[in-house]
Amino acid sequence: MNVSDTHNKRMASMTFGSVYPHYVTKVVRKGKTVEELHQVITWLTGFDDAKIQELIEAKVTFETFFAEANLHPNASLITGLICGYRIEEIENPLMQKVRYLDKLVDELANGRKMEKILRNP
């Protein structure tokens, strides 16, 4: 998928903490919990609750957020469309990771079973 460098740079410089409240609102509105959201974030990144909070308070960018993450080995199993983008076709590695997280949050909000979201074969 062709995306402009400007778009990629804008997304890379966006802070995780500025997007996190939107994730919370989305899942809570659909009857899910912050704990479930954290379970999904932890699965993808390896961050525990304290580290997630630390990164929010430090106002780290998505670039730093994913640079510090230990991406789950099964993250590449996250496929499909999110925000109009086919995840498996995104060429920019950082953008792909951001979309992985977006997709997992969407699946949680839409009521997909946690076993399926976490893609543990």
Q: What is the pLDDT of residues 23-52, one digit of tens each?
A: 999 999 999 999 999 999 999 999 999 999
Mean per-residue pLDDT of the chain = 92
At residue 106 the predicted structure's pLDDT band, cuts being 50, 70 and 90, is very high
Q: Provide DSSP, the chain.
A: ----HHHHHHHHHSBHHHHHHHHHHHHHHTT--HHHHHHHHHHHH---HHHHHHHHHTT-BHHHHHHH----TTGGG--SEETTEEGGG--SHHHHHHHHHHHHHHHHHTT--HHHHTT--
Dihedrals phi, psi of 53, to nearest 5 degrees: -65, -40
Token output for 72? 């789950």
Task: Kindly list the structural domains of the chain, giving each domain's residue range(s) and its CATH number in brackets, ordered by start.
Answer: 5-111 (1.10.8.290)
| Mean pLDDT computed over 96-102 | 95
CB 27 within 8 A of CB 37: yes
User: Tell me, what's the pLDDT at 13?
Assistant: 80
- pTM equals 0.90
Q: What is the pLDDT of residues 58-77, one digit of tens each?
A: 999 999 999 999 999 999 99
User: Tell me, what's the pLDDT at 1?
Assistant: 42
